[in-house]
Chain A
């Protein structure tokens, strides 16, 4: 299954560790909070993405199914 990165913005404290690990898919805004790419994670970056998820000290980063059924969730 294809995945994409997602941040729980309430849990995230802006350490920026994730962006160091995976600059290809995560950059930081001017206040140090991550802007994650919403595209499906390319195959070759998948191991790094999993490491970024594990390294986040706040458990704020996660992998979501890339084509989540957002019919009701979109409201």
Chain B
């Protein structure tokens, strides 16, 4: 698809009737090649980096477009841009490409195939908030991805494209080292652990300057809004949640992978696109800070913050995981909770002591080896840690645990009466379903 400057037509492919809800914006050209798009190819696809317009105009456009953060919290991006722009001193932009959520692949996929779309967005955001530096944060153990981005940045330098400096950073990779205050702390020379807030990064972040931390998919959308405008952006998605989103679908599906869908596509439809097995009963929405649900209770709901709220779910960073029907959801949850408990930064009492205790209670229930009233103990503990860490790591783990107790209530009964379910016996012999990253070996936070 060739495109030049001016009021370009949107790069949206016509919807295929069998994939209603599918859209092609961020994923333009992904069918043709799985390699990173060169600067030339990128410019052919989307047109050149727009240079017109003031920073204020782009901030207004992003606000009118209704773009929200794609890193999990769905915070309005225009509002954040405005806060950073009105801060004191020269601002800094941090692109969050860490993707620490084990069940998510979308940021890796985006960075690996459309690095220039992300870099365009970061540079344009820097222009909007009058920043002179862009820091792109990547996990240290993904060397191949770092190499792709280094090539892309070198290409831009040769072309003399950007006025701001772009730096690539390789951070230690723990679940919480991708939280925004952890990125800032590391960029300031500290450990990649969350810090107590306030001040938040938008007030005082890298070098004590106002700092915009945005997810890489959010930045890629800024690059599209700068080119094609807010009205175009709103042609996909819902009025209160416009645009497309990248969703990583895995588990009991024939075609696991990253799908670009309009925000608000029904959950069941996204699962159907990826070939979910018809006998799947449960789905995890939003990853390990997300929630378990019975499929028939969420299939018709839109994959969007407001639409999922009634069911107690949120799209998070777009993870959908279909639980294979012969797998015990409680055992899977216990395994992930144990991992999450070990992923905390060990800084806050309620997280450092509470999460291991919760994971232990949960494991007792899942294995049927109870000491005392494990379920009552678990429920009490689940009620005490939320909101008491410096970051929301404990809140996410609690939400995940709670949702399992509801979604797998029938299994829970069997487990608590000390008879483990059939599935648990079978799944103990099976390969685990929910992915858990290999241990890093050493406790490196620096």
Contact = CB atoms under 8 A, between A and B. Distances in A.
Listed residue (B69, B198, B384) with the most chain A CB atoms within 10 angstroms of its CB: B384
Nearest to B380: A30
A8 B198 contact: no
Given A9-B390, A10-B390, A29 B197 contact: no
A13 B349 CA distance: 7
Q: Which 4 A-B pairs have the closest CB atoms?
A: A33-B349, A9-B348, A75-B75, A31-B353
Contacts of A72: 79-80, 83, 200, 202
Contacts of B69: 75
B350 interface: yes
Interface residues of B, number: 25
B387 to A, nearest CB: 8
5 contacts: A14-B349, A29-B350, A31-B354, A71-B79, A73-B200
Interface of B: 69, 73, 75, 79-80, 83, 195-198, 200, 202, 347-351, 353-354, 357, 381, 384, 388-390
Interface residues of A, number: 18
Given A9-B348, A10-B195, A33 B390 contact: no
A55 interface: no
B349 A31 contact: yes
Contact of B196 (A10, A14, A31, A71): A10
Nearest to B83: A72
B356 to A, nearest CB: 10
The secondary-structure label for the interface of chain B is loop
Listed residue (A14, A71, A73) with the most chain B CB atoms within 10 angstroms of its CB: A73
A12 interface: yes
B32 to A, nearest CB: 37
A4 to B, nearest CB: 13
B389 A9 contact: yes
A10 B389 CA distance: 8
B197 A9 contact: no
A14 to B, nearest CB: 5
Interface string A6-44: 011111111000000000000001111101000000000
Contacts of B202: 72
Nearest to A74: B75
A50 to B, nearest CB: 20
A13 B202 CA distance: 28
B377 to A, nearest CB: 9
Given A9-B389, A72-B80, A72-B202, A29 B354 contact: yes
Interface string A31-75: 111010000000000000000000000000000000000011101
Contacts of B79: 71-72
B347 A10 contact: yes
Given A72-B79, A75-B73, A32 B196 contact: no
A11 B350 contact: no
